Structure 1
């Protein structure tokens, strides 16, 4: 989100660097292949890493366009193309950033407390990531909430849980508190916030604390009931971020 805002002129480089602090106190950059290392003048994995400042300078020098968020999981690998090191790393991480205009992908990996490593890969971007409309994602989230609630009730695993509100608040407080660029589209932000809240509820519902389903069979049934909702949350995040990126890019292309 911040990279696209910066590339479109809606944010300064320092804003991008400050935004990264929500996920780690320090970030480093390496490349996963020689082609990326040469094209972007960045070190290979195993060499002394570069900084995010060097990465931004390389992206600017190479005329990189808008970024896209990928949130791959087994069974849904949209945007990963035909495989390779980038696809493997992105699927393992469950998230990645694609730069389709330049043919690069970046995968973040926490490697120590407070330290995140970004690995850049050269990728085949001939397979365009599937577009998911924000309205469709929002409706899908609403439908999944209703269906999952009904399934959990039928399974008798949605029991009252003492202190659940306090647990939910604590979980949300522990999450990175991301800031968003000025001009962040309101609907996209609303969908992101709703997905975050539902993600917190899912995390609590999936745990085996007192008040939840404790037997192995009940836990399996509960996981099956919650899976569609988890997928809907992931798709909502995917759609909201990429819709905001699209709007930032459109604003950058308008005549001043």
Structure 2
């Protein structure tokens, strides 16, 4: 299945009980709200698909894996309601990944910023290349990684999260991300990554689907309050994005 729109595309393919979801956007695979909603809906659908045992989440191209939120849509926010609505898109996506009955394996082939780090953190197992550096740049534009924080902290811990958040202009290497637990495996190039990913998924997809679903629930124990927590966090980001500081910073970033 392919769902395309002016704000990017989402392609789903299913083969040998493995569903591959590929999102793509011309602006470094960033996410406008419409693309967030497409991905969220597709994850909810696949969660109930009896012909799927496993989901691979990837992005298109050979550049960035994900540049996070769409700057154009952030600049278009004019009031608190619009701000909360936009950031709730990431809240709903992370909750869909958390609640999905299928194990989600991430394929992070390149650099990842902001909301992209949250998406990688919400995967259950992540393959990455050595060039897949990460950065939480939100403080540099006057907001913060409030919505994605629970997912990132769950994966790498509060200490590593604070290090990333406060060094908002600094890239952390793929080796750093692996040492902190965000990435499970890293490879020198995309070809080696894809070979390992294929081998891993072919084995995992043949395990008992019921056992995998039960393990998924174990992995995410203690996150039952996220349905409300992440939406509350979206309201914080939605308020901050209206500040003059953030407006000026976003304009500078766009330039």
TM-score bin (small chain): under 0.3
Scaled by the length of structure 1, the TM-score of the pair is 0.24
**Whose RCO is larger (CA < 8 A, sep 6+)?**
1
Scaled by the length of structure 2, the TM-score of the pair is 0.24
